[in-house]
Amino acid sequence: MKRGLKILVGTALVWTLYWVVAGWGLRQNVAAWFDAQAQLGWQVETRSIAPAAPLGGFPTHHRTRITAPALVDPATGAAWRADWLDIESPAIWPGRQVLRFADGQQRLSYFDRTAVITTEGLQAKLTLAPGLALEVEDMGLTAAAWSIGDGQTPTLGAADLSLRMVRQQSSQTYRITAEARDFRPGAELRRLLRSAPDLPQTFEVLTLAADVEFDTPWSRSALETRRPQPRRIDLERMELRWGEMRIKSTGQLDVDEAGIPTGALALQVEAWAAFLDLAVDTGLLSPGARNQASRVVAMLARASGNPEDLDITLGFRGGYITIGPIPLGPAPRLILR
């Protein structure tokens, strides 16, 4: 009995010593990372890096709180600031990280534009591959109610958010899924919606599922030096439901080094006439322009076999979006800054 008790006490003392040393090492690594960014020319601020209450996660985890973190990258003009950030990992293996953000506001800037992100229960879960590169195997971001705006007026928001990126067999291909319920458009669109009271004030659901191949894996260098850039997008499903109206899309795009996409996306719009009615109700289209647009869209809808729904293919080539031989306008540049 006494021998067993001694073994138990000895094991507890060894584990406690390991936990203390490992936790100290983790905090030193976090501080060293901030110092390294400062050496690279970043503007870095933290008020403290210390164990998070209570007990810093002892005995099974390490929890570290970074108080008042702020990062500014002069090369891109990107900046981020928050009240605090908690980092948690199992004491036995630091490659599984949970990042918890303070409820309330964070500021994300890009040159002269600043977005104020207001969240509840925002957290990210990271599973990192062994090695110094810290390549991302699995990353998930979840939140309860959230909104993005300028600090005074929300631009968009939703009741919740679920975003996940999982590495596939290819080290540079990731499965990306996203869903937001009760997606709320910004003040400008809500103002327009008051002219269309039959429509709900929120989108019922917004979902996305795609496989994206990047030019490099996502790793620590994605934050420190250069963001991986998409080179192929296999869009399995994008869907938005808004009252009786629904938009669906699927297809494949290849993206060159300049961010110009080439390929095709199938686009299905249910109840397309309701979109045109909304545009007239809100003043975006005159009744005359609505009639002209209706004739063109009706012709396309009849060609697809269902006059109530629009089923077309959007082509991406030469830097333009097209329907058949008809150019609609320049294609967006798909570049991650």
Residue 308 has pLDDT above 90, yes or no: no
The span from the CA of 330 to the CA of 254, in Å, is: 16
- Neighbour tally for 193: CB within 10 Å: 19
Residue 188 has pLDDT above 70, yes or no: no
Calculate mean pLDDT across residues 134-154.
88
**Residue 53 · residue 85 · CB < 8 Å:** no
The span from the CA of 144 to the CA of 156, in Å, is: 14
Confidence of residue 193 (pLDDT cuts 50, 70, 90): low
**Which pLDDT does position 143 carry in this prediction?**
95
Confidence of residue 262 (pLDDT cuts 50, 70, 90): very high
**Is residue 236 in a domain?**
no
**Which pLDDT does position 141 carry in this prediction?**
95
Cα dist. 26→32, 43, 49, 124, 299 in Å?
10, 22, 10, 18, 64
Cα dist. 327→238, 249, 300 in Å?
23, 19, 15
Name the residue among 223, 249, 220 with its Cα closest to residue 235.
249
Tokens found for residue 263? 């390929």
Which of the residue ranges 41-45, 222-226, 269-273, 291-295 would you say has the lowest mean pLDDT?
291-295
**Which pLDDT does position 281 carry in this prediction?**
64
Determine phi and psi for 178, rounding to 5 degrees: -150, 145
Residue 152 has pLDDT above 90, yes or no: no
Which of the residue ranges 195-199, 281-285, 295-299 would you say has the lowest mean pLDDT?
195-199
Residue 313 has pLDDT above 80, yes or no: yes
**Is residue 31 in a domain?**
yes
**Which pLDDT does position 285 carry in this prediction?**
60
**Which pLDDT does position 1 carry in this prediction?**
67
pLDDT digits (tens, 9 = 90+) for 57-105: 898 999 999 999 999 888 777 889 999 999 999 998 888 999 999 999 9
The span from the CA of 88 to the CA of 220, in Å, is: 17
Task: Supply the DSSP symbol for 2.
Answer: H
**In which element (H, E) is residue 10 found?**
helix 2-39
Q: Tally the domains of the chain.
A: 1
Q: What percent of the chain has pLDDT over 70?
A: 89
**Is residue 147 in a domain?**
no
Residue 299 has pLDDT above 90, yes or no: no
**Is residue 33 in a domain?**
yes
The span from the CA of 161 to the CA of 163, in Å, is: 7
**Which pLDDT does position 109 carry in this prediction?**
85
Confidence of residue 314 (pLDDT cuts 50, 70, 90): confident
**Residue 69 · residue 84 · CB < 8 Å:** yes
Range of the domain at 64: 1-102
In a 13 Å sphere around the CA of 165, the CA atoms on its Cβ side amount to 18
Residue 282 has pLDDT above 70, yes or no: no
**Is residue 7 in a domain?**
yes
- Neighbour tally for 131: CB within 10 Å: 9
Residue 191 has pLDDT above 60, yes or no: no
**Is residue 283 in a domain?**
no
State the average pLDDT for the chain.
85
Higher per-residue pLDDT: 16 or 113: 16
The span from the CA of 117 to the CA of 150, in Å, is: 8
**Is residue 303 in a domain?**
no
**Is residue 55 in a domain?**
yes
Calculate mean pLDDT across residues 102-121.
87
All residues at 6 or more sequence positions from 84 whose CB lies less than 8 Å from its CB, including other chains:
65, 66, 67, 68, 69, 101, 102
Beta bridge partners of 211: 175, 234
Which of the residue ranges 65-79, 238-252, 278-292 would you say has the lowest mean pLDDT?
278-292
